[in-house]
Amino acid sequence: MEIEQLTLEEWGDALPQSGFEVFHDPDALAVLDSHIDAELQLYGAYKGQQVVGLLPVFVDEKSIGRTVFSPAVSFGVPRLGPIINPNSPKRRKWERINSGLAEAVIERLEIDKRSTLFRMTCPLGYTDPRPYGWNEFTMEPEFTYVVDLEGCDDVEDAMMGFSKSLRNEMRRYDELDLTIKTEGIDAALRIYDDVVEQYQEYDDTAPMSRLFLRDLLSRLDDDRWRVYVARTPDGTYKSGIITLFSNDLAYYWQGGVTASYERVSVNNLLQYVILEDIVTDPELESVTGYDLVGANTERLCEYKGKFNGELRPYYVVESSGLEMTVAKSVYRAVSGPLK
């Protein structure tokens, strides 16, 4: 197996048809690269002419030391990390590719050195971070909820396992004169204002800049995002949700802050329309799950749990040791929080 560094064009050609996150898209990586003071490096594992493994990283050289991240921090990217795509269904083949890619990247980037801070949040499909653990990195599970939509013919099928109160509110949509439609980037920036305000309520900062959001949606293909906006009959904005799409998943990415209309949660009505689109729109036929993007914040899980999604683990791999604890504290001070 050979490990090579790829261009963005080669990366796009190498992506499999499924099993990758939305931010693995080469256009998303290009926007991240343009907004991050770090070098994007794309690695591909080849067996013959076939790419069987992929890993994007951002490398930042600072006076305090070297940092290697996948994804880069503070841009609202839920997960990135490695993609393993063997040409055989055998488990041993998968493990061999996984180990080979991990060992090669560890060696090339020297991420096992005491002067390097490494952090990687792996995609949902990546279930085996052991090669990093064997090289003395820490491995911690985090979680998200994914609503299974495979085989759903309509939105009622999708809501089958939801809590009774959630179903009842969602079904009110057809009774109300509230309109929910998809809009463009200007609406996404309006939703961004809601997000900033919500984060401020919890003494936190928004996970991205307005400029990054605009550039991301401008660069991504139209089939990678939709902006759902709820308006009253006179056109007054009530709330909205920015939804992203990989080939497999829809992502409840940003927005959906608290708002009500006729004593009904506008957020629940937005989710109703999003789910209806996912299960009925032929353009979204390959999407079989709705990722609620996180099940790690207790105050949010009470609401997200009403969707009866499958609790899916993913792994955070990072440098270990006292030196790295100090380094992470210094990096937070210089570059902001590690989200």
pLDDT of 194: 92
pLDDT of residue 156: 96
CB atoms within 10 A of CB 184: 12
Angle between helices 26-35 and 210-219 (to 10 degrees): 150
Q: In whole angstroms, what is the distance from residue 125 CA to residue 245 CA?
A: 16
Q: Are 262 and 114 in a shared domain? A: no
Same domain, 150 and 261: yes
Per residue of the chain (339 residues), give pLDDT as tens. Answer: 899 999 999 999 999 999 999 999 999 999 999 999 999 999 999 999 999 999 999 999 887 788 999 998 889 999 999 999 988 778 999 999 999 999 999 999 999 888 899 999 999 999 999 999 999 999 999 999 999 999 999 999 999 999 999 999 999 999 999 999 999 999 999 999 999 998 888 888 888 999 999 999 999 999 999 999 999 999 999 999 999 999 999 999 999 988 999 999 999 999 999 999 999 999 999 999 999 999 999 989 999 999 999 999 999 999 986 555 655 555 444 444 433
Q: How confident is the model at residue 335, as a pLDDT? A: 43
User: Can you tell me which residue has the tokens 């090339």?
Assistant: 108
Residue ranges making up the domain that contains 110: 2-137+319-335
pTM exceeds 0.75, yes or no: yes
Domain count, the chain: 2
Q: Are residues 113 and 163 in the same domain?
A: no
> Are 163 and 253 members of one domain?
yes
User: Could you tell me the two tokens for 215?
Assistant: 């550039």
Burial of 186 (0-12, 13-18, 19+ CB in 10 A): exposed
Q: Tell me: do 195 and 330 sit in the same domain.
A: no
| pLDDT score, position 199 | 87
Q: Give the per-residue pLDDT at 327.
A: 52
Residue 70 CA to residue 40 CA, distance in Å, equals 10
- The span from the CA of 248 to the CA of 20, in Å, is 8
Query: Is 292 in the same domain as 203?
Result: yes
If phi > 0 it is left, if psi is from -120 to 50 it is alpha, else beta; for residue 178 that is beta
Amino acid at 260: S
Return d(Cα 174, Cα 176) in angstroms, integer: 6
The CA distances from residue 305 to 161, 162, 295, 296, in Å, are: 11, 9, 9, 12
Query: Are 222 and 288 found together in one domain?
Result: yes
The answer on 150 and 109 residing in a single domain is: no
User: Are 188 and 290 members of one domain?
Assistant: yes
